[in-house]
Structure 1
Amino acid sequence: VPSSRPKRMRRGPVEPKMRRVQPLEKDPVSGEYKLPARVGILTVHALGRVVPLPTYHNDRYIWPPGFKVSRTYLSMVNPNANTVYTCSVEENGEQGPRFRVVADDCPDQPIIANSATGVWTAIVKRANEIRHRDHSNSASGPDYYGFTHATIAKMIQDLPGTENCINYVWQKF
């Protein structure tokens, strides 16, 4: 008697689901998104440009150098306040992008890492430490940067050059 049922076999690649996006204004002449644009709790200031190297994308996200968003989160220096964080993606050669976050209340201390999660984990850890919180310091960098937001994903996917991102799985919006 078998102990478990055999796994079902998949029939070919999984079709991506249709993702809903909020309508955003575009320039009637250039066709580019009008920025800055408010998308959920984020403000998109710049989309950047696509670098088709495999280190600047994976199957789910494209990290375009020049991308810049801002959002509010707990301060790392004042336990009684929130502050605005500006998140950006910088070009870093073939190694892949560098992620930089600058807090409005300590602009001379940018947090820099080789991943969005690395940057935001450091911020969450500091914010928890000054509040004497014994919480998990884990953070989803793609969430905090907005890469998981359907509207921002579409804005990036609409950039010229995304068709050259060989590992990226095209999403439906």
Structure 2
Amino acid sequence: MGASQAVGGDYVCVTTSEEPKRHTEWTFDGEAICVPTVSATGHGHASIKRIHYVSGKFSAATITVVMMKKKNVDIYVPYVYHYLFAHKDELLVPLMRGSANVSLNDVRLGKLRIPVPPSIDEQKRIVDKVVQARLNIESLKKQLTLAELNFDKEFSELRDSF
């Protein structure tokens, strides 16, 4: 499905956009990591700006590779997502080919190997720490925004008092 065919609906539709779109149909069911197959920065430049983790029923644009866990593999999919996200420039960008339309394909992506802690519990512990750190950052950003607004208000009142 082309990204422009997402017409709204009940199901997530993963594209190369930062925020997923919505669609009336789904083609996948389960946990997956969706990786764009085309460069995010344009003609002739190999770069991947974002990858997506999705769970449940969803569809994906044809310009993404959908990576799903094999049934016989004992792995925590969010661990793989966070690892790929943290190392996308070192792991994914070198797999992109082309001089004009730089792209990645599922064959090259399928050959990618990443280190995985042996236990699911360890994988979950690592993901929990990353998620908690990200939540802390977001909380601090909100506090900073509020402090800046408060400062602007107080400074404005100070200026107006003269």
Larger Rg computed on CA atoms: 2
- Relative contact order (C-alpha < 8 Å, sep 6+): which is higher? 1
Q: TM-score, normalised by structure 2?
A: 0.25
When you count helix as a share of all residues, which structure comes out higher? 2
When you count strand as a share of all residues, which structure comes out higher? 1
